Amino acid sequence: MASSTRLFSVTRHAKDLHPLTPLGPNKPLYQQQAALPKLPVAPLQETAVKYLKTLKPILSEADYARSEKLVKEFVAPGGKGEQLHKRLQERAATSSTSWLYDWWNDWAYMAYRDPVVVNVSYFFVFQDELRKQWKAPASRAAALITGALEFKRLVVEQDLKPELFKGKALSMDQYQWMFNTCRIPRIPSDQTRVDDPARNSHVVVIRKNQFFSFDTRHADGRQLSTAEIEKQIQAIYQQAGDHSTPAVGALTSENRDIWTKTREELVQSPVNRASLDAIESASFVICLDDSSPVTREEASRACWHGDGRNRFFDKPLQFIVFENGKAGFLGEHSMMDATPTSNMCDFICSGLSKDTINHGASSVSATLNPPQKLNFELSPSLLSRIESAEGHFDTLIAKHDVHIQAFHDYGKDLIKKFRISPDAYVQMAIQLAYYKMHGVSRPTYESAQTRAYAYGRTETCRTVSTDSVAFVKAMQDPALPAATKAQLGRKAVASHVAYMNDCVENRGVDRALLGMKLILKPDEPVPSIFTDPAFEYSKHWYLSTSQISSEYYDGYGWGEVVPDGYGIAYMVKERSLHFNVACLKEMRADRMKFYLEDALRDLRRVFEAEQAVSGKDVKAKL
């Protein structure tokens, strides 16, 4: 395996990694990159008005009056807000990536010290493979590897077509962090290791907590066929045996500072250093688990965290295959959002389903080099650290609950007949479910991607509005007619759609306010707008939500972001809606699951009643 390694402690050097320029005239991946506009800074006065509008439905009148006064002071002519906003605009003008890029990647991810598993990682559960020839775990793993390698080829050779939004190309910069990368623990902030994907073609497989590596190319450069990869996987099953070894991978589930110190101790051994080098530089990781999850909850938990041993949580791409042939994916979030990895996984799953991925010859080369076991020398101190990491992981997982609402009454097909945005409709269902359960509306986050701009990542769409609160209250009032409820529902949906449209243009409030706070000089007084309790409360995400949809997934999710909140990932499929509810056990994910179903049926009744009265489909399109 070849090495061409770079560590990035601050991602402002992203352009040093790859210039994001096309290799040739017919290479589409970065063809539009140079033409993308820079991430804008939201106008100050507009941000202030919008911020106050988001505070109105979640604060008391007295608290809102206080916040309104502080906001007006902040944005007054010649005031501190204008100074900070001007600095932000100057930063935007001189940045080689975006004014937010370095800050966001460090503040939101690399400097985060809690374990990445549960807190940062996200997962997909793939639909079951029903074809007999691909259902056995070794066959399943081999097919997934072949699909992933084909996607890697498209990325490395820049033949992948850029993702589009409303017909326009999105920023594809995140794809440079996809293959042959790894998060490396450091204090006070982690780094990203990047190895040349064109020169490193090995993958790492974990079985019974043991690590193995094999090259996916022959000596002459030809890629291994699926049959040859399957033979390598079968050899790993045999070599790993029936007994688990000390779980080095569990160390990556630790607090980042603890893992940093443990890794420093680990790499003192040349043997350990070489094994870690192979893992960190690998194209991706395949986890061959010895469990057989059956239910959606079992499969989701197995992909989200598993037993914490048979993983290496710092790798951004981990494919998981279970004894019964079920499979899924686990992503590390720091340098990539879920949209690029979902694009990859959907490509793999659809390609395998439609037989559009080339598996190569069915014969196996007689000169195939066997997989190499990656050994570790573990001192009593390291063994103790592994045991401690396992204990911390088990305690963390035991506190959590996951429930799946796989709702098959209807999906996008019916919602579109109501002439309503499917995403906004689901957001209102989540709001109604929360209100039914808790009797109040609280701050809610929905991820909005800003990749229409160079190096854009996300902005926060604040779901709770005065209109959404009026709607959920009306839905709980039996005295109100369905027509009134439907009218309020459409108004709430319109507010949400308008805010989301602003967010994809980076004209929400959260990133601009964050930028003005972070651009303060160390010795500057902090403006009162940032010390106002409402500032923190309004971004205490009781509901953290996001949509990724694929007909090839049977699960998708992540953890809550605050102890008294929920992580609700959802998929809007053609004829079904799927929700993954994750939270601490005391928050009762099972009840939120129940109320989501209840809310979805309530919404259907209201909008169908509206259609019945009108005698035809509602024409207003939101």
Q: Which residues are catalytic?
A: 333
Residue for token pair 């793939």: 126
**Around Cβ 599, how many Cβ atoms within 10 Å?**
23
Give the torsion through C-alpha atoms of 82, 88, 94, 97, to 10 deg: -160
**Six token digits for residue 453:** 């701009």
What secondary structure letter does DSSP report for 187? Answer: S
Please tell me the total number of residues recorded for the chain in this structure.
Answer: 622
Residue for token pair 């890629």: 223
Burial label, 364 (beta-carbon count in 10 A; 0-12, 13-18, 19+): middle
Give the torsion through C-alpha atoms of 289, 290, 292, 296, to 10 deg: -30
Half-sphere exposure of 264 (CA within 13 A, CB side): 8
Cis bond before residue 188 (omega within 30° of 0): yes
Residue 62's identity, in one-letter code, is A
Residue 143's identity, in one-letter code, is A
Q: At what angle do helices 482-504 and 422-438 cross, to 10 degrees?
A: 120
Q: What is the distance between the alpha carbons of residues 490 and 467, in angstroms, rounded to a whole number?
A: 9
According to DSSP, the β-strands at 458-462 and 444-449 are: antiparallel
Q: What is the distance between the alpha carbons of residues 205 and 283, in angstroms, rounded to a whole number?
A: 11
CB 72, CB 51: distance < 8 Å: no
**Around Cβ 177, how many Cβ atoms within 10 Å?**
23
What secondary structure letter does DSSP report for 34? Answer: G
Residue 96's identity, in one-letter code, is S
CB 299, CB 125: distance < 8 Å: yes
According to DSSP, the β-strands at 191-195 and 181-184 are: antiparallel
CB 150, CB 358: distance < 8 Å: yes
CB 10, CB 427: distance < 8 Å: no
Q: What is the distance between the alpha carbons of residues 193 and 201, in angstroms, rounded to a whole number?
A: 16
Residue for token pair 């490395």: 156
Residue in 585, 173, 167, 234 with CA at minimum distance from that of residue 401? 585
User: If residue 107 lies in a helix (H) or strand (E), which one and from where to where?
Assistant: none
Half-sphere exposure of 374 (CA within 13 A, CB side): 27
CB 594, CB 569: distance < 8 Å: no
**Six token digits for residue 109:** 């991810």
CB 160, CB 154: distance < 8 Å: yes
Residue for token pair 């930063």: 91
Q: What is the distance between the alpha carbons of residues 194 and 621, in angstroms, rounded to a whole number?
A: 46
**Six token digits for residue 364:** 């196996």
